[in-house]
Structure 1
Amino acid sequence: MQALTGFTTIYASLAGLQVGTMLTQLFFFLVLIILLRKFAWGPLMNVMQQREEHVASEIESAEQSRAEAEKAQNEAAEQLKQTKQEAQKIIEDARNAGSKQEQEIIDNARREAEQIKQAAQNEIENEKEKAIQALQDQVGSLSVQIASKVIEKEISEQDQDKLIDEYIKEAGEKR
């Protein structure tokens, strides 16, 4: 056996490798791997898993925030659109109300003008009737005066024409 050991040692020393040291190093390497796996790799993987979950939750939170922001933006745009429509409707209503009020004012002014015109025509008609009545009264009184003078004296045709002309002049002056 010593010869075998000597042979491997010679063969190993020729190649620069020592099998015993290699086996010892392999054994300690495997122990180191087992220890690292148990004490370092497990906690490291847990930390990596937690980090991955944290990043995933942050991404999900960011997606939710983006979706909420988009929804809020859409709602704001819709509200703005509705506000513009309401403002346009208010402006249109104000225009219609202004036009209606303008038409009412014009109609009222026309009615008042018509009433004033009618009142003026009525007053003119009344004054005309009064003037005609006054003229008739004067003509009647002149006729009575002429008749009384004719009765008082008998006059010639020239005197009668003269009297009529005088009374007509008097009636014209009184007017």
Structure 2
Amino acid sequence: MTTTFLAASDIAEQFGLELPKLIAQVIIFLVVFYVLKTKAFGPILAMLEQRRQRIADGESKLEKIAKDLAEAEKNAQAIVDKANADANRLIKEAGDSAKSLAEKRQQEAIQEATQILAKAREVAQLEHEQLMAQLKSQFGRMVSEATSRVTGKVLNTDDQARINQETTAQVSL
């Protein structure tokens, strides 16, 4: 055992290794490591985790927006289908009543049914356009909110208006 210790001592002496300096360097390294871990790496890792969480939240909100958009499109299609069904029902009723009337009344009923159909289509188109405008506005607002949350920047009204306008221009339904 003593020969091993002497051999290790000779090797350490040959390389200029001094035990007190080595211990001091190990202690300094541990102190620096502790300070960096608690004062630098800890807060940085916490900040990175917060950013990762905000990005994940933003992605989930975008998925929700996409689902809401699909649902709104489905609702708009249902409204259009209902309006078409109502228009078709009105046309059928007008046709049935026209058969029972004289030739003169029959022509008037057909004209009236055509006007009702045109009005129903206009109403359906107006409702569809209003729904789409409302949907684009809400989608722009949600994109503005998601953008402000993802970037962490409070958007001023000009930024919000620009994002809403760009989103509305890009969303083609």
**Under TM normalisation by the shorter chain, which class is it?**
0.3 to 0.5
Report the structure number with the largest CA radius of gyration.
1
TM-score (norm 1): 0.47
**TM-score (ref. length: structure 2):** 0.48
